[in-house]
A = this chain, B = another copy of it.
Amino acid sequence: MSKSAGCCKRFLHYAFDYETPKTLVIPSLGVGFVFRFTQFLVVMYVGIDWYVCVVQKAYQDTDTVISTVTTKVKGFAFTNTSDTEPRFWDVADYIIPPQSDHSFFVLTNMVVTPKQVQSHCPELPSPSTTCVDDCNCVEGRSDPRGNGIQTGLCENYSTTARTCEVLSWCPLEIDTKLPEHALLVAAENFTVLIKNSITYPKFNFHRRNILPHVNSSYLKRCEFSRLTDPHCPIFRLKHIVSEAGEDFQDMAVKGGVLGILIDWSCDLDWWAGECLPKYSFRRLDNKHPVNNVAPGYNFRFAKYYKAADGEETRTLIKAYGIRFDVIVFGTAGRFSIVPTIVNLGAALSFLSLVRREMFRLASV
């Protein structure tokens, strides 16, 4: 071997990957195939790398959203059914409780039991409450499915039925006569203004769902629509329910829970103006009647009154309605040195490892 040839060899040795000359000295179909296959793998690796680092934003540090919500419902209704007196309803009547953190309840149907007082009355007829005489009733017994504490007497509930008398708020509520059509059908045209402020504390990033470019006159007349007004924070209840794939009139009869989901997922490496809320709507309770104890959504509350003689009476209301839960979620990402090194390093090192193994295999 001449000196220049040795020098040249050494140069080649340094200039290229130290495995490369070794594969070249073994001319073989198998090795050639492996070589090409390895080239393909390298290309694939670059693809995965690109996917990991760019598409999945693995170079970013992330933070979870902190949020505050206020809601304001507008609208009024007039009800005049055969069962109830004509009545006008405004926001103070149908929003219960009047203010809440991140949800609001709109009354749509109800069973009202007025003029209840603490007293005695015969139970509602059922297999466990009917009686023939006082012997069937035990003083002090309280049936969990009943409505009060038995006094030990058997009384006439109606001309045909005798039931055990109970100590309770009387008259008892008869909630089987729920109106088939929701009382406040007009509620579907109520609107709600949702004000939502968010913070990503790690990035000291604050934002509101009322965008900076939106002016006051627009806000006075706009209404959310995915196509024409995607950033208007005023929602018609009917629209929310129909976007969730439900029918307002159906849902209003027995009530339900409807989620207003606001997604604030953002890439803060880009222009922050692009960090916009994305609204979506989903029914959160189960509407299917299977496996359903207490379908829909309802709760009981009472208005207490005191007569001139000091006796307390109450109006019991079993309120059916739609609870709208405003659920704010999201993760923001911003470039950070740590995940970049971790992810890039891991990906590259892994690839380099695999490549080395491939070459070793190829060189055999």
Contact = CB atoms under 8 A, between A and B. Distances in A.
Contact of A93 (B88, B105, B302): B302
Interface stretch (A127-135, A175-183, A244-252, A303-311): A303-311
Contacts of A100: 100-101
Contacts of A214: 291
A145 B360 CA distance: 79
A348 interface: yes
A2 to B, nearest CB: 19
A5 interface: no
Q: Which of A52, A68, A95 has the most CB of B within 10 A?
A: A68
A78 B167 contact: yes
A358 to B, nearest CB: 14
Contact of A349 (B93, B299, B301, B349): B349
Interface stretch (A34-42, A155-163, A193-201, A269-277): A193-201
A70 B345 contact: no
A68 B257 contact: yes
A263 B199 CA distance: 13
A52 B336 CA distance: 10
Contact of A148 (B88, B102, B199, B349): B88
Contacts of A168: 76, 88, 90
Given A78-B149, A349-B346, A193 B293 contact: yes
A138 interface: no
Interface string A58-76: 1000001010101010111
Contact of A348 (B98, B300, B353): B353
Contacts of A349: 345-346, 348-350, 352-353
A86 B76 CA distance: 33
Contacts of A263: 201
Contact of A323 (B99, B215, B291, B350): B99
Interface string A109-131: 00000000010000000000000
14 contacts: A15-B364, A17-B360, A48-B341, A51-B337, A76-B168, A88-B149, A98-B301, A99-B299, A101-B103, A216-B290, A341-B350, A344-B350, A345-B351, A348-B353
Nearest to A351: B345
Nearest to A255: B70
A285 interface: yes
A341 to B, nearest CB: 6
